[in-house]
């Protein structure tokens, strides 16, 4: 997809704040600091529409990015960050669960994991949550530029087995640095338009 327009429309914490309309939405989930913002920026050819941070736990709202006035990327709070209070984590969890389970415009969740490491327990729980609620998932294993190309298959196998990826769910090797996997990611998303 050739992105010509992208903007942050709203940062929401409750359903009344979600954008109106029926445009397809794709939520981006993953642990804190896995590279969700970098994924967004690479996908839309922008340096910093989605703010990247070295400080985990920065995203605390559902951030709706309108792309080409035809779809939304929804950046959700990262999980697995220890320096956030239990009460805050519970509030985020409730906010995300409400969005994931009630939003009709949600077409799929892009679950972003780090190709360099086996998926965490939180990654597994997130994937199982999506499967339980029959929400389509696209798994993006990012930071591929940090893994020698000859080892990608081995790392993909670990991701596939740890998450127990269901038949039909795609696993895409991605790099926000090199653009590796960008076309494949758009192709996977476009199947849900």
* Residue 140 main-chain phi, psi, to 5 deg: -115, 115
The Cα 56–Cα 76 span in angstroms is 13
Which residues, including other chains, have CB under 8 Å from residue 186's CB and lie 6 or more apart?
1, 43
Report yes or no on 118 lying in a domain. yes
Which has the higher per-residue pLDDT, 56 or 30?
A: 30
Report the mean per-residue pLDDT for the chain. 89
What is the rounded average pLDDT of the residues 32-51?
A: 82
Report yes or no on 84 lying in a domain. yes
What is the rounded average pLDDT of the residues 134-138?
A: 96
Query: Any idea what the CATH number is for the domain that residue 80 is in?
Result: 3.40.50.300
Report yes or no on 1 lying in a domain. no
Domain range for residue 59?
6-190
The Cα 117–Cα 15 span in angstroms is 34
Report yes or no on 109 lying in a domain. yes
pLDDT band at 1 (very low <50, low <70, confident <90, very high): confident
Strand 62-67 to 71-75 pairing: antiparallel
Report yes or no on 139 lying in a domain. yes
Among the residue ranges 15-24, 27-36, 105-114, 140-149, the one predicted with the least confidence is 27-36
Q: How many domains does the chain have?
A: 1
* Listed residue (105, 104, 71) closest to 1, CA to CA: 71
Report yes or no on 11 lying in a domain. yes
Task: Please determine, for residue 166, whether its predicted confidence score (pLDDT) is greater than 70.
Answer: yes
| pLDDT at residue 88, as a whole number | 72
| pLDDT at residue 57, as a whole number | 47
Q: Summarize pLDDT for 78-117 with one digit per residue, the tens.
A: 876 556 667 776 776 788 899 999 999 999 999 999 999 9
| pLDDT at residue 83, as a whole number | 60
What is the rounded average pLDDT of the residues 173-188?
A: 97
What is the rounded average pLDDT of the residues 31-39?
A: 87
Among the residue ranges 14-18, 66-70, 74-78, the one predicted with the least confidence is 74-78
């Amino acid at each position: 997809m050739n992105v010509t327009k992208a903007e942050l429309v709203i940062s929401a914490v409750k359903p009344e704040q979600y954008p109106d309309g029926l445009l397809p939405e794709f939520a981006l989930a993953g642990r804190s600091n896995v590279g969700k913002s970098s994924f967004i920026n690479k996908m839309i050819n922008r340096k910093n529409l989605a703010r990247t941070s070295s400080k985990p736990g920065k995203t605390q709202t559902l951030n709706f990015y309108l792309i080409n006035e035809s779809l939304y990327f929804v950046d959700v709070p990262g999980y697995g960050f220890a320096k956030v209070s239990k009460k805050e984590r519970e509030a985020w969890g409730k906010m995300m669960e409400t969005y994931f389970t009630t939003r009709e415009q949600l077409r799929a969740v892009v679950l972003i994991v780090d190709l360099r490491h086996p998926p965490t327990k939180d990654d597994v729980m997130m994937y199982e949550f999506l499967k339980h609620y029959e929400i389509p998932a696209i798994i993006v294993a990012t930071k591929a530029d940090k893994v020698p190309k000859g080892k990608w298959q081995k790392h993909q196998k670990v991701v596939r087995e740890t998450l127990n990826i269901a038949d039909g769910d795609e696993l895409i090797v991605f790099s926000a640095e090199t653009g590796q996997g960008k076309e494949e990611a758009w192709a996977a998303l476009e199947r849900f338009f």
